[in-house]
Structure 1
Amino acid sequence: MSNQTFLIGTGGKTIYACCLTHDEQLLPLHENKSEQGPSWLLARDDLLYAANEHDDKIEIFTIDDRIQGRLTSKSIISSQGSTPCSLDIDSTGKWLAVANYGGSGSSNFVLLPLNKSNIPKENNAQIVSIDGHGPNHDRQSHSHCHQVKFYQNNLYVIDLGT
């Protein structure tokens, strides 16, 4: 097994780069600063998308060094909802899907078109709110989108509350 570099979103203000060595040692490599709360990470080509759940933003980084895990913040956009918790990009590379958990408020999922540089265009967002509740009203009083996932030609949205 060769060394494997990976990134960890912590919900704090740092994305950690670590290495799992061929002899199964875990080594810290680099600390990348983020605006706030990078929990869900999605790498695509030379970009990393981070769902910043504490400030309802998506932060986009360039991946400058894949070996050391060095990133540079390139853009910060609104998640178009509250508490973003999951991201995915469709197979055509034209759409970024965002699951907004919603906290104590309403939940939604959002489709953001990507420009030629793979940066989401906020002004063309398609926002879909989900109404309803689950069978356990104390825990599922309203929708809570947990994950978005493109598979083949479909977008799947996993929801706690409905």
Structure 2
Amino acid sequence: MKKTILIGLLGLSSLLTFGQTGDYYLYVGTYTRKTSEGIYVYRFNSKTGDFAPVGIAKGSNPSFLSISANQRFLYTVGGGGDTARAFAIDKASHQLTLLNAQPTGGKGGTHLEVDKTGKWLIIGNYSSGNLSILPVEADGSLGKLKEVIQHEGKSVDPERQTKPYVHSINIAPNNRDVFVPDLGTDKIMTYTLDAKTGQLTPGNPPFTTETPGSGPRHFTYHPNGKFAYVIHEMGGTITGFTYKNGALTPFQTIKTLPDDYTGRKWCADIHISPDGKFLYGSNRAHESLAIYSINSKTGQLTLVGYQNVLGKTPRNFAIDPTGNFVLVANQDSDNITIFKRDAATGKLTPTGKEMAVSMPVCLKFIP
């Protein structure tokens, strides 16, 4: 039975005035280890940076989120990281209706993405070091597990790289190439997706080897389709690649931290501005976003500077679809900080506005 679980709908007009132009909805995935109750929904104005709470979809640890291309459905992994859940998004109220849940066949589900056709959900399972593929039914609900693909191998760190640790799923704009950074093996695994059957087969080449001990984590494509970038959790670096015919060819590796920094290297997330001119990467422990300009012809990164995130442990962040604001999910300080972005320089300025959310993990915008 379908169950609407979004609660606490608030009268937006009593809080802030929103116009139709520039308004988006922000979905916030969380860990529910402290006071969070599930997925938080906000209305966000991309002209002013104002926001208003809409409601909460209750559930256990709905961490990373993925929204279908038609923006009708939202998917998450939750509980102990071994269950995927499907929600319908009401286009008028933005209430979330739980459609169903399915076991993933893996452990520690940490990242997921639904393909462009909306027919397949791919989940990266960190703890078990494998991928899960689940079919999506016509009504947006999840079918039973189709396949589990197990990674093999290890790398040089005796504590953190004794086995595979799948960290993110990245389906290319062509909906065919799928790149999967594995922190435990120091490889970016490559797959080819058959969108008709949901079959994942090894790409050509089947993987790209990263610097031993670097720990590749999150990955992003440049809007021009020519470049891709990966951030290394353990190495404190970002590597840029040319991307062509399903293959990655590295052209640069650059630090994410100042030369005089001696603390822990603990990178997390990576995103490119909608105009393709700037790249941002988050440093946990240093509590910053590193900012780089991007050479449009070569893809080369040049450091612009660092922005303190005004919180602790920036596990995830998002650039709003207009490129005007950057929102940072600070997991361990229980806040989402809002920064104004200078489109000309890429630099960020604190707005003084923040959302109080316990253990935010993932931020997703839709109109």
| Same fold, TM-score > 0.5, yes or no | yes
Match of residue 107 from structure 1: 129
Match of residue 202 from structure 2: none
Match of residue 7 from structure 1: 27
- Once residues 79 and 25 of structure 1 are traced to their aligned partners in structure 2, the CA distance between those partners, rounded to angstroms, is 37
Deviations for 1:95-141, whole angstroms, at most 9, x for unmatched residues?
21110111xxx321012222222333215x11111111122122111
Match of residue 146 from structure 1: 167
Match of residue 80 from structure 2: 54
> Which amino acid letter does the alignment assign opposite residue 178 of structure 2?
L
Q: CA deviation at 1:92?
A: 3.1
Residue among 87, 91, 103 paired with 2:116: 91
Question: Pairwise CA RMSD of aligned residues?
Answer: 1.8
Larger radius of gyration: 2
Q: Aligned residues, how many?
A: 156
**Contact 1:65–1:71, Cα closer than 8 Å, also in 2:** no
> Which amino acid letter does the alignment assign opposite residue 168 of structure 2?
Q
| Structure 2 unaligned regions, length at least 5 | 1-20, 186-367
- Once residues 147 and 28 of structure 2 are traced to their aligned partners in structure 1, the CA distance between those partners, rounded to angstroms, is 29
**Contact 1:6–1:69, Cα closer than 8 Å, also in 2:** no
Matches within 5 A, 1:5-44: 5-12=25-32, 13-21=37-45, 22-34=47-59, 36-44=60-68
Kindly, what percent of the aligned residue pairs are identical?
26
- Once residues 93 and 65 of structure 1 are traced to their aligned partners in structure 2, the CA distance between those partners, rounded to angstroms, is 17
**Contact 1:53–1:85, Cα closer than 8 Å, also in 2:** no
- Once residues 55 and 85 of structure 1 are traced to their aligned partners in structure 2, the CA distance between those partners, rounded to angstroms, is 7
SS of aligned partner of 2:170: strand
What is the TM-score normalised by the length of structure 1? 0.86
**Contact 2:134–2:144, Cα closer than 8 Å, also in 1:** yes
| Structure 1 unaligned regions, length at least 5 | none
- 2:140 is the counterpart of 1:118: yes
116 and 4 in structure 1: CA distance in 2 versus 1, 3 angstrom threshold = closer
Greater RCO, 1 or 2 (C-alpha within 8 Å, sep 6+): 1
53 and 140 in structure 1: CA distance in 2 versus 1, 3 angstrom threshold = farther
SS of aligned partner of 1:145: coil
- 2:178 is the counterpart of 1:158: no
